[in-house]
Amino acid sequence: MNDFRSRLGAPMRTVEKALKLLDFFTDKVTEIGLSDLARLSGIDKATVLRMLQDMAESGFVEQNPENKRWRLGAGILRLARLREAAQPVTRVLTPILERLAGETGETAHASLLSGRDLANIGVIEPARANRVYIEPGLALPLHATASGLAFTAFARPEQRDRVLGRKLSAITGTTPVTRDSLAAMLARTAERGFAVADQTYEAEVYGLAVPLFGPDGFACGALAVATPASRVSEPHERGILAALAPAAAEATRGLGGRVPAHHRITY
């Protein structure tokens, strides 16, 4: 459970706490009652209600008039349109993801840094039955996913250090939970130019990811391909990387970033 303390160990401030309430909504949990939100967050009901009412004023949440439960509000769609007008991420990434899923026959997804995790902002699944499903809007932990490793290995040094300084939670049996094991994975990622996550986030899922770079030449996100672990082989992996590397370079350019000269994919 979320301990509702910020990264610096200090108690969260009100605004941060209120926005964190939104993290309890997922594609499976689309509505939550007040009591449940209070229980999940460990904040008293009166305070949660006040925060919800404040967020409702800006349309971030709304109450289902039928059952009085809370859900994400339409104001989020409005802001997403504005963000997209300012930086047309989805429009740039969708055709790239579609091609990548087509070429690899696997699930292609893109993410950008958002607060302390990567926000998954686009997924295209391949047209085959046995495929990896990625929850829309999933937050990808930096230490436990191929996307997170690809991002962190090429992030600004201070961001990288921040991730290394965190308490690392075990998500599966192979998630790196010590600073040393994570540092080793990041070094290997930096060396090869891409990241591998062998079931570190979800059993039976194998991920390959290449960083997306911002205009400053540091990573701002990642482009990834996720495959059932049972399908992984050296030729398949080579094929995925052959499609992934140019797709990531194209996505970086499309987002207004630049791939630094030293970045090279070596399998």
3-state secondary structure of 211: strand
6 binds its own copies (CB under 8 A): yes
| Residue 232 phi, psi dihedral angles, 5° rounding | -75, 135
21 within 8 A of 48, measured Cβ to Cβ: yes
CA–CA separation, 142 and 161 (whole Å): 12
Task: Give least dist CB 162 to its own copies, A.
Answer: 12
Q: Which two three-digit tokens encode residue 191?
A: 């060396």
Q: Which two three-digit tokens encode residue 149?
A: 């490793």
Select from 60-68, 142-150, 181-189, 242-250 the region that touches its own copies (CB under 8 A).
60-68
Task: Give least dist CB 196 to its own copies, A.
Answer: 24
Interface pick for its own copies out of 49, 56, 164, 232 (rule CB under 8 A)? 56
Interface pick for its own copies out of 70, 73, 106, 124 (rule CB under 8 A)? 73
CA–CA separation, 93 and 108 (whole Å): 11
Interface pick for its own copies out of 39, 59, 166, 179 (rule CB under 8 A)? 59
- Cα dihedral sign, 88-89-94-96: positive
CA–CA separation, 67 and 31 (whole Å): 10
Sequence-distant (6+) residues with CB within 8 A of 225 are: 100, 104, 106, 107, 108, 109, 207, 208, 209, 240, 243, 244
CA–CA separation, 267 and 264 (whole Å): 10
Interface pick for its own copies out of 19, 49, 164, 229 (rule CB under 8 A)? 19
253 binds its own copies (CB under 8 A): no
The 3-class secondary structure across 28-53, one letter per residue, is CCCCECHHHHHHHHCCCHHHHHHHHH
Residues in the chain: 267
Task: Give least dist CB 128 to its own copies, A.
Answer: 22
114 binds its own copies (CB under 8 A): yes
Select from 24-32, 162-170, 180-188, 195-203 the region that touches its own copies (CB under 8 A).
24-32
Residues 134-193 that bind its own copies (CB under 8 A): 136-139, 156
98 binds its own copies (CB under 8 A): no
Task: Give least dist CB 251 to its own copies, A.
Answer: 14
Select from 75-83, 101-109, 162-170, 183-191 the region that touches its own copies (CB under 8 A).
75-83
37 binds its own copies (CB under 8 A): no
2 binds its own copies (CB under 8 A): no
Q: Which residues bind its own copies (CB under 8 A)?
A: 6-7, 12-16, 18-20, 22-23, 25-27, 30-31, 50-51, 54-60, 62, 65-66, 71-87, 89-90, 112-116, 119-121, 136-139, 156, 214-216, 218, 221
